[in-house]
Amino acid sequence: MNDLGALKYFLRIEVARLKTRIFVSQRNVLTETGMLGCKLADTPIKMNHNCEDMDWLSTNNEQYQYLVGRLIYLAHKRPDIAYAVSVVSQFMHSPSVSYRNLVNQILRYLKSATGKGLMFSKNGNLEVVGYIDADWPGSITDKRSTSGYFTFVGGNLVT
């Protein structure tokens, strides 16, 4: 066994350690996706987006699947993009140019918020707190419910 020193990267996740805190982020996703020079976006997806208005011109399947896969992995560390990523991941097998533009919108949003991530700190307790939100017939396309939840242990987001 070798001592490699303090952990800085693990599975493409950047880890910054302080005395009482650990900060987890993933800034390198823009470099890997070639979107480092893109314009900024205020939101990851337009509010009340309508999937029916999308065109169906096909795009490169492999590239779309790679980008969405990276975003799915990133959504575990960035809950603010989770809903937008769930929308674009529904079309992994038949992506269109419009959905590729939505993926680019998410990447542009990530560029505007590169310093965001998860902070884990020692709080001295192990209290478990959960929050849930639901929008019952919220999807304009299929009238299905949209819901999400967060679970905190000791004040730190874990799911």
Handedness of CA 63, 64, 66, 67 (dihedral sign): positive
Structure confidence by residue, pLDDT tens digits, 116-128: 777 788 877 888 9
Handedness of CA 138, 94, 36, 17 (dihedral sign): positive
**What would the DSSP string read from start to end of 65-118?**
HHHHHHHHHHHTT-GGGHHHHHHHHTTSSS-BHHHHHHHHHHHHHHHHTTT--E
Name 51's Cβ contacts closer than 8 Å, sequence gap at least 6: 87, 140, 141
Structure confidence by residue, pLDDT tens digits, 43-93: 888 776 665 556 666 677 888 888 888 888 888 778 788 888 888 888 888
pLDDT (0 to 100) of residue 143? 67
pLDDT (0 to 100) of residue 75? 82
Of 66-80, 102-116, 119-133, 138-152, the one with minimum mean pLDDT is 138-152
**Predicted confidence band at 142 (pLDDT cuts at 50, 70, 90)?**
low
Q: What percent of the chain has pLDDT over 90?
A: 1
- pTM here is 0.70
pLDDT higher at 114 or 112? 112
Distance CA 55, CA 67 (A): 19
Cα distances (angstroms) measured from residue 48 to each of 62, 108, 139: 28, 19, 8
| Arithmetic mean of pLDDT, 6-26 | 78
pLDDT (0 to 100) of residue 50? 63
Q: 3-state DSSP call for residue 120?
A: strand
Cα distances (angstroms) measured from residue 51 to each of 56, 88, 106, 111, 146: 11, 10, 16, 24, 15
